[in-house]
Amino acid sequence: MAFFQLGIRRAAAHLSRVSVACGPCLRQQVPVPPSRVLKLVRATRSYASTAPTTAAESKTPLGSLASNIAKSSSESAAQKSSSQSSGKSSSFPDTNAKVVGYWLMGSAVSVFGIVIFGGLTRLTESGLSITEWRPVTGSLPPMSDADWQSEFDKYRASPEFQLINPHMDLAEFKKIYFMEWAHRLWGRFIGLSFALPTIYFIARRRVTPRMAVNLVGISSLIGFQGFIGWWMVKSGLKDDLFAPGSHPRVSQYRLTAHLAAAFVCYAWMLVSGLGVLRTHRLLRDPEAAAKTFAALKSPTLKALRRSVAGLTLLIFTTVLSGALVAGLDAGLIYNEFPKMGNGYAPPKAELFDKFYCRKEDGSDLWWRNMLENPSLVQLDHRILAMTTVTAVVTLFVYSRTGRIKAAMPRDVRKGVTGLLHLVLVQASLGITTLMYMVPISLAAAHQAGALALLTGVLISGHRLRVPKAAQALVQKALQNPSRARTDAISQKVLKKVAEKSSA
């Protein structure tokens, strides 16, 4: 007991000596001198509230930093007051966050992958294995033997099973089912991984108003793409679209629409992401960016810019023609190159056959054969493909002429060279795929090459553009070059103050 009494007395004596103090004693204590960081912040505030510094004061590093921060804060305050007085203030920023650019590029890569996987699904004839469209409940595969048997029974009622796979068992059905299920699940993932960040970036004001509209448009296109996919699959589940005894397949028109929507979605994501990253790269060195814009505005590059835009349209048209070839299985006939049979083109009677007409007067002879006759569809694709190769080679030669070569920036020159390599590889893949009667590996590589070729021409066109928004930001940075650096320094100072106060 005496031991505890001694401890309590010592604790009370220590508490009275250290922790307990009266008001007069606290007021008489000597104040602790502030740290250098606090001095810097106080100097900044004093300079912001007083007149501009003199020449003698601005010679010191501290005085120069304080004057710059004061000038920046006064300008921002003036801009804020003017915007509030005019009633036109906007909470959206002038530039998109850099993370938005990386996210868009990652989404474009995911779309690239699902396009290739969708081609594999078609080539393995797995696309018609799931006969229902359940956007929510279809996210899970069958979980029991009874569920698997139910799905198999639905597939057995389809024209594809009755005409092509009548000897397929349940184990073989599971393989093609999982291919289509994985394709649909990947599509759902792309939709959610794009729509949810879109809501976040817009709600947190991490994007410009223009980019917000783009993100909403891409999200809507992804949702519409899911509907087009089911609309396409549904066409292969009915036997009224086929001639008696013909090969069951989806409508070539719907397949082309499905592939076109995927390519547009990919291109939209890619160009938007490249724009965000390019703007941040240009703003790191506004003087170099201004020189780049001046070079791109040269009248010498006007024809090159138009040529790349026309080439983009030509490549996209060739892709749509390839989708018609795939939808009609037109690559399984005339498996030689450059001839088609005994000549460079089939006989005229075969190319324009009245069998494909649906009107008695034959007024739909031309366009029906161009879109539904496998022989003419393959010929059209060959012509478009060779035209694309010729156009790219011509563009490359034109870009190497003396006047164009001197005016063309280095990154544009690299883009045109890469485009030449891509088109040569794609042409080789197309010819090889045709001559080997469309094996799955070569056909998938050919489809990937088409998307890679479109990527190359989009990048080349993007490097030739002079975006007005980025140009305005560069001009703004050139008019006030020390503004960004001053804001960065002030943020570091305030961060140090916060860390010191918390410590």
Among 251, 245, 201, which Cα is nearest to 230's?
Answer: 251
CA 372 to chain centre: 33
Pair (243, 310) in one structural domain: no
Same domain for 461 and 347: yes
Do 118 and 249 have their domain in common?
yes
Number of domains present in the structure of the chain: 2
User: Same domain for 248 and 299?
Assistant: no
Q: What is the pLDDT of residues 311-355, one digit of tens each?
A: 999 999 999 999 999 999 999 999 999 999 889 999 999 999 999
Domain limits at 455?
292-465
What's the mean pLDDT in 78-94?
56
278 and 162 in one domain?
A: yes
| 222-241 pLDDT per residue, tens | 999 999 999 999 888 876 55
Whether 182 maps to a domain, the answer reads yes
Q: How far apart are CA 93 and CA 103, in angstroms?
A: 18
Q: Residues 381, 441: one domain?
A: yes
- Is 503 inside a domain boundary? no
Residue 319 within a domain: yes
* Integer Cα distance of 304 and 170 in angstroms: 57
248-279 tens-digit pLDDT: 778 999 999 999 999 999 999 999 999 999 99
Residue 329 falls in which region: left (phi positive, over 0), alpha (psi -120 to 50) or beta? left
Position 313 in a domain: yes
Domain boundary among 259, 284, 309: 284
Same domain, residue pair 162 and 298: no
**Is residue 170 included in any domain, yes or no?**
yes
Q: How far is CA 247 from CA 29, 90, 250, 356, 367, in A?
A: 97, 59, 10, 16, 22
Q: Is 359 found in the same domain as 227?
A: no
Residue 397 placed within a domain: yes
The answer to whether residue 387 is domain-embedded is yes
Burial annotation 97-106 (CB, 10 A radius, 16+ → b, else e): beebbebbbe
User: Are both 343 and 275 inside the same structural domain?
Assistant: no
Instruction: With respect to residue 473, please indicate whether it lies within any of the assigned structural domains.
Output: no
Q: Last residue of a domain, which of 261, 284, 307?
A: 284
Domain co-membership, 134 together with 166: yes
In this structure, are residues 423 and 392 in contact, taking their beta carbons and an 8 Å threshold? yes
Is the separation of the CB atoms in 426 and 322 below 8 Å? no
Tens digits of residue pLDDT in 443-501? 999 999 999 999 999 999 999 998 888 888 888 888 876 554 544 455 455 556 556 66
d(CA 452, CA 343): 32
Residues 28 and 51: their CA atoms lie apart, in Å, by 35
Q: Which of 284, 309, 343 is the last residue of a domain?
A: 284
Q: Which of 352, 398, 402 is nearest to 376 (CA)?
A: 352
Q: Residue 108: is its pLDDT beyond 50?
A: yes
Residue 180 binned pLDDT confidence (cut-offs 50, 70, 90): very high
- 425 and 448 inside one domain: yes
Q: Is 246 in the same domain as 395?
A: no
pLDDT higher than 90, residue 430:
yes
